[in-house]
Structure 1
Amino acid sequence: MGLGAVLSRIREPEESTSYSLDYQPEVKRSRPLNRKERRALKQAELKESYENISAIKIPDYKKATPPVFKIIEVDEQAFQNYNASFGYNATRNNNYVRYSLLGPSGQYAAVASQDRYVRVYKLENDKPHIHWKHNMGGLVYDIKFMNNDKFLVTSKEHPIHAFDAETGERVGAYIGRDHADAVEAAMCVGMVGDTVIGGYKKDFKLWNVERGGKPVSNFPYYDKKSYNGLTGRAMSICAHPSMPNIFAAVGCCDRIAVYSDKWKSPISTIETNTKSYTHVLYSSDGMKLYASERKGDIHCFDLRMNMMCQILKREMTTNHRAIFDIDSSLLFSGTSSGEIVAYDIGSVDEELEPISKTRIASTCVPCVSVASGKLVACSGERIFPSVGLCDTDEENENQLDSFTLYPANSFQFISYAF
């Protein structure tokens, strides 16, 4: 065998193995997308997401049924025959009612008036009667019920007192003092868990509900480091319905602040165009805050976006602290024209008008409270409107008729049905 035959035998397996392998062409890498292509891809993704969202069927909103109000009992006698030796001449005979709050059980109602008394009504068989009364020694600033039939009262130049609505016994006193160690009155009071919170001139003071006396701690309204919190005195405190240690506050400034009594500082602030608010209340789910203007409407704020989302139109021209209340999807409030109004707060409209209204008084209705399917309200103004000398005879007659037909200073027990 020659050299050429040997070399040919050696080449044959190499050629066979080379031809048996599968041929794979070289794949070129794609270039990166430029700005125009990335923008087009993003728009296509957004269009697809919008189409998916539009395909979701949102259930139709069911409007709330307007409630029908019915006055069951009116108490005017308890607030008559009043003659004070102090104050302005226009208010010495005017025992106007400032507060009427229902307890969580719906069996007791705490009522405060100009004569410095707190009266507790017992609602038995839809016939309220005065269960007991107590002189607070000063003008009552705020009342707040606890989770039971005990309530807190703060009055001028006095500490915060806790009373048992059933027995009338004073069960606690929470004393706040200023820099001169003098007793200072809280302008508002609140309850967060087992903590009593009082709003004073520049700060919140905190107590354990089981232990009165000196406050356990305190912290200022405004945090200079984070620029959060109220810049004026607090006028109303409301605890969050589901989150512990969280409460909201409004007052004599254009801000609404949310605080944590655990961190002792504000955690969120909403700036508004209103000079002051007098009452604040959380919605039942805790997602929204409702705040009452000093003179005017009720504003609704969405806490998820920290912005105003609704305005509840209301006639309120007096400087009273107008207190409203919420029952499920309805918000109840009073007006300066002597009416009780109800709003459907489940609506998504930016401006809400009352779905139901009923006149119950000839003067302002500063406070409405709802609990356990019952509603109580009070009426009265600091100064009664007088008949103008330049008014026509017809206007004077209409005004006098309203004073005759409707009560002035009163406590009223009202039912509402759908």
Structure 2
Amino acid sequence: MGEEEALAEENGGLNMVDAGEKASSWPTMRFDVSPYRTHHFSKQFRTARNPNNFLKGLKWSPDGSCFLASSEDNTLSLFYTPQDGGDSNGYGVPNPEEDSYGASLLVKEGESVYDFCWYPYMSVSDPLTCVFATSTRDHPIHLWDSSSGELRCTYRAYDAMDEITAAFSIGFNPDGTKIFAGYNSSIRVFDLHRPGRDFEQYSTLQKKKEGQAGILSTLAFSPTNSGMLAVGSYGQTTGIYREDNMELLYVLHGQEGGVTHVQFSKDGNYLYTGGRKDPYILCWDMRKSVEIVYKLYRATDNTNQRVFFDIEPCGRHLGTGGEDGLVHMYDLQTGNWVSGYQASSDTVNAFSFHPYLPTAATSSGHRRFSIPDDDDDGDKNNDLQLKADENCVSLWSFYVTSEEKSTFNEYAIDNNVASKSEEIA
């Protein structure tokens, strides 16, 4: 027990032995069969004042109890997962006109939300850890309480004119002690326990114009605690840095558009990058970062939106959406296409796997422009008559192998993996 406790202390209080046991209990999802929709949300995102409101992305909480969705009206909506983790009849639901249930929490920002992220050790059993960070235009970084919706603290960065400048991307380091924020050709690092204007600043553009220039739009840390940080830029480059001193290790070139999303593989040996108006997700080998390993296609040629992809908990498959409303699944060991299914009749701008359940969430939507008629009044001009599977969020349940289904259900019940939305609300 002494060795286990010491190992857990080194990993931020997590017992990696238990984590390994849980990993072995993860179900093997079947991607040869299309998943079925269990819950659907669309109507609550539309109002008379803003009928064209659309989703811009979503992220599951680290404990899987809820997910956070960002929309164009500068609002972040928090939804707790149902207690049974699925729908009541087990066969899925179509595209209902009424939402499955309402959001438990709404956080309204003053300007457009650039990025948001969860505290890595968030757990509903510990209210102190129930926080997420947001970055919005012309505002400092906000740290919100996901239980009450209260603003806990702010982290402010200033430019040369001593005016607040907004971060374009944010992320917690693996230890959960610092917030890394991407700006224009610079990274600022805030101590989580010291809110205010104290930060460390690192320029990503070295002398002689070497390094990484442009808006740093996305960042991700290696999940293996190797100390590597990947930072994507609108300058079509991805920089690999050391987390402790932000030393630039190397720069990856090859994206046709500005990099909008980066994610490491579960073992930290590979990096996946996606760009704006770029139809390919690129795979890079971190041990030999000279050439692209393979490319994964998705339909993003004609959209300026960020299209977020995700890797399943077992690390074998990657899912991504596109402007055609399809979700594609790829085998990461071979880079081959496995399957796909129609998730929306709209642009699927985010696909996210649940941390441990055979479930995924998608968000869809894009900005529409209605052409007013001279004979119509303003209210009719705004009536876009959107369908139920446009500008929406859906939850999907994947089929699992039969020999693991009963074992996993017992594990889920015994460990109370379902959220306790009623207690939190």
TM-score range, shorter chain: 0.7 to 0.9
Q: Are residue 329 (structure 1) and residue 312 (structure 2) matched?
A: no
> Residues 139 and 304 (structure 1 numbering): CA distance in 2 closer, same or farther, change over 3 Å?
same
Describe the SS at the equivalent of 1:408. Answer: coil
Matches within 5 A, 1:27-176: 65-66=31-32, 68-83=34-49, 93-125=51-83, 126=85, 129-147=102-120, 148=122, 149-176=130-157
TM-score (norm 2): 0.72
Rounded to whole Å, the distance in 1 between the matches of 2:249 and 2:101 is 42
> Residues 105 and 385 (structure 1 numbering): CA distance in 2 closer, same or farther, change over 3 Å?
farther
Aligned-pair distance for 1:244? 4.9
Describe the SS at the equivalent of 1:176. Answer: coil
Describe the SS at the equivalent of 1:78. Answer: helix
Offset from partner CA, 1:342-371 (integer Å, 9 cap, x none): 111121x5xx33x12111212101011112
Matches within 5 A, 1:278-293: 278-293=260-275
Describe the SS at the equivalent of 1:124. Answer: coil
> Residues 180 and 139 (structure 1 numbering): CA distance in 2 closer, same or farther, change over 3 Å?
same
Gaps of 5+ in 1: 1-62, 85-92, 387-401
> Residues 226 and 140 (structure 1 numbering): CA distance in 2 closer, same or farther, change over 3 Å?
closer
Aligned-pair distance for 1:382? 1.9
Offset from partner CA, 1:281-317 (integer Å, 9 cap, x none): 0000111110012121211111111121010011113
Return 117-126 or 107-116, whichever deviates more.
117-126
Give the partner amino acid of 2:180: I
Q: Is the Cα contact below 8 Å between 1:101 and 1:110 reproduced in 2?
A: yes
Describe the SS at the equivalent of 2:44. Answer: helix
Rounded to whole Å, the distance in 1 between the matches of 2:44 and 2:390 is 12
Aligned-pair distance for 1:403? 6.3
Q: Is the Cα contact below 8 Å between 1:67 and 1:342 reproduced in 2?
A: no
Describe the SS at the equivalent of 1:236. Answer: strand
Q: Which residue of the partner structure matches residue 361 of structure 1?
A: 344
Aligned-pair distance for 1:146? 1.8
Q: Are residue 380 (structure 1) and residue 365 (structure 2) matched?
A: yes
Q: Is the Cα contact below 8 Å between 1:120 and 1:130 reproduced in 2?
A: yes
Rounded to whole Å, the distance in 1 between the matches of 2:31 and 2:55 is 30
Larger relative CO (CA 8 A, sep 6+): 1 or 2? 2
Q: Which residue of the partner structure matches residue 310 of structure 1?
A: 294
Q: Which residue of the partner structure matches residue 393 of structure 2?
A: 411
Q: Is the Cα contact below 8 Å between 2:57 and 2:71 reproduced in 1?
A: yes
> Residues 297 and 385 (structure 1 numbering): CA distance in 2 closer, same or farther, change over 3 Å?
farther
Matches within 5 A, 1:343-358: 343-347=330-334, 349=335, 352-353=336-337, 355-358=338-341
Q: Which residue of the partner structure matches residue 184 of structure 2?
A: 201
Rounded to whole Å, the distance in 1 between the matches of 2:369 and 2:352 is 23
Rounded to whole Å, the distance in 2 between the matches of 1:171 and 1:244 is 31
Return 328-337 or 127-136, whichever deviates more.
127-136
Offset from partner CA, 1:13-41 (integer Å, 9 cap, x none): xxxxxxxxxxxxxxxxxxxxxxxxxxxxx
Aligned-pair distance for 1:372? 2.1
Sequence identity percentage: 22
Between Structure 1 and Structure 2, how many residues are aligned? Answer: 328
Q: Are residue 264 (structure 1) and residue 246 (structure 2) matched?
A: yes
Gaps of 5+ in 2: 1-28, 86-99, 123-129, 372-384, 401-425
Could you list the structure 1 runs, at least 4 aligned residues long, displaced by more than 4 angstroms after superposition: none
Rounded to whole Å, the distance in 1 between the matches of 2:323 and 2:178 is 34
Q: Is the Cα contact below 8 Å between 1:363 and 1:384 reproduced in 2?
A: no
Which one of 309, 313, 329 corresponds to residue 342 of structure 1? 329
Describe the SS at the equivalent of 1:181. Answer: coil
Aligned-pair distance for 1:338? 1.2
Instruction: Decide which structure has greater strand share.
Output: 1
Q: Are residue 231 (structure 1) and residue 197 (structure 2) matched?
A: no
Larger radius of gyration between Structure 1 and Structure 2? 1
Return 263-272 or 251-260, whichever deviates more.
263-272
Q: Which residue of the partner structure matches residue 88 of structure 1?
A: none
Give the partner amino acid of 1:281: Q
Rounded to whole Å, the distance in 1 between the matches of 2:295 and 2:30 is 18
Aligned-residue CA RMSD in angstroms?
2.4
Give the partner amino acid of 1:68: S
Describe the SS at the equivalent of 1:219. Answer: strand
Aligned-pair distance for 1:197? 0.7
Give the partner amino acid of 1:145: W
Q: Is the Cα contact below 8 Å between 1:71 and 1:413 reproduced in 2?
A: yes
Q: Which residue of the partner structure matches residue 410 of structure 2?
A: none
Rounded to whole Å, the distance in 2 between the matches of 1:103 and 1:110 is 7
Rounded to whole Å, the distance in 2 between the matches of 1:292 and 1:67 is 26
Offset from partner CA, 1:248-286 (integer Å, 9 cap, x none): 011111321111232233122122252321100000011
Aligned-pair distance for 1:123? 1.1
Offset from partner CA, 1:367-416 (integer Å, 9 cap, x none): 11112223111110122699xxxxxxxxxxxxxxx965x51111111111
Rounded to whole Å, the distance in 1 between the matches of 2:46 and 2:150 is 26
Rounded to whole Å, the distance in 1 between the matches of 2:310 and 2:205 is 28
Q: Is the Cα contact below 8 Å between 2:31 and 2:329 reproduced in 1?
A: no
Rounded to whole Å, the distance in 1 between the matches of 2:394 and 2:280 is 23
TM-score (norm 1): 0.73
Aligned-pair distance for 1:159? 1.0
Aligned-pair distance for 1:82? 4.3
